[in-house]
Structure 1
Amino acid sequence: MPTMRSAEYDARFRAAAFAWLSTRSDDGAPMVTREELLSFCFEGERIPLIDHNRGIRRPKVLRGAVSLLTTYRPSPQAAPYEDAFGEDGLLRYKYRSTDPQQADNRAVRGSMEDRLPMIWFYGIAQSQYLAIFPVYAVAEEATGHQFVVSTDVPVESIAQAPPSVLEREYRAVQTYRRVHQPVFRARVMHAYERRCAMCRLAHPSLLDAAHIRRDKHPMGIPAVSNGMALCKIHHAAYDQDILGVRPDLKVEVRLDILHEVDGPMLRHGLQEMAGVRLEVPRSRVQRPDPSAIEERYTQFTAANR
Structure 2
Amino acid sequence: MARMRSRSEQAAIRQDIFRWLDEQLASGKWELTRAELEAYRFEGERIPLLDTGRGIRNPADFHSTLTVMTSSKSHPYDDEVLDGGIIRYAYRAQDGGDNKKLVVAFQQRDPIVYLQGIRAGVFVAHYPVYIVENLPEQRCVMLAVDEIFRFFGDPLEMTGDARRYSEKIARARLHQPLFRARVMHAYEGTCAVCSLKHAELLDAAHIIGDSEDVGLAIVPNGLALCKIHHAAYDRNLLGITPDYEVRIDRDLLDEVDGPMLRHGLQDMHGRTLSIPRRKVDWPDEQRLALRYEQFSGA
Shift of residue 72, structure 1, vs aligned partner? 4.7
Q: Deviations over 1:264-297 (max 9, x none)?
A: 4554333332221111223333332344334434
1:282 correspondence with 2:290: no
**Equivalence map 1:76-115=2 (5 Å):** 83-87=80-84, 90-96=85-91, 104-115=98-109
Whichever residue aligns with residue 53 of structure 2, its letter is N
**1:234 and 2:210 aligned:** no
CA contact (8 A) 1:124 1:190 kept: no
Aligned length, in residue pairs: 291
Using a 3 Å threshold, how does the CA distance of structure 1 residues 43 and 95 change in structure 2: closer, same or farther?
same
The corresponding residue for 2:34 is 34
1:195 corresponds to which residue?
A: 190
Gaps of 5+ in 2: none
CA 1:150–1:36: 2 relative to 1, 3 Å: same
Superposition deviation, residue 134 in structure 1:
1.9
3-state SS in 1 of match to 2:168: helix
1:112 shift after superposition: 0.7
Q: CA RMSD in A?
A: 3.7
Q: Is the CA contact 1:125–1:187 (under 8 Å) kept in the aligned structure 2?
A: no
Q: Aligned equivalents of 2:291 and 2:138: distance in 1?
A: 36
CA displacement at 1:116 relative to structure 2: 1.6
Give the distance between the partners of 1:289 and 1:144, measured in 2 at CA: 40
User: 3-state DSSP class of the match of 1:158?
Assistant: helix
Structure 1 position 42, deviation (Å):
5.6
| Residue 149 of structure 1, aligned match among 138, 143, 164 | 143
Give the fraction of aligned pairs with identical amino acids, expressed as a percent. 38
- In structure 1, list runs of 5 or more residues that go unmatched: none
Residue 47 of structure 1 deviates from its aligned partner by 4.2
- The Cα shift of 1:34 comes to 0.8
* Post-superposition CA distance 1:140-171 (Å, at most 9, x none): 3568765322322278x524366563333333
Output aligned runs, 1:215-254, within 5 Å.
215-254=210-249
Alignment CA distance shift 1:197-1:100 (3 Å): same
**Which residue of 2 is the match for residue 118 of structure 1?**
112
Partner of residue 166, structure 1? 161
CA positional deviation for 1:15:
4.1
Distance 1:300 1:154 in 2: 39
CA positional deviation for 1:111: 1.2
Letter in 2 for 1:158: F
- Structure 1 pair 235–65 and aligned structure 2 pair: CA distance change class (3 A): same
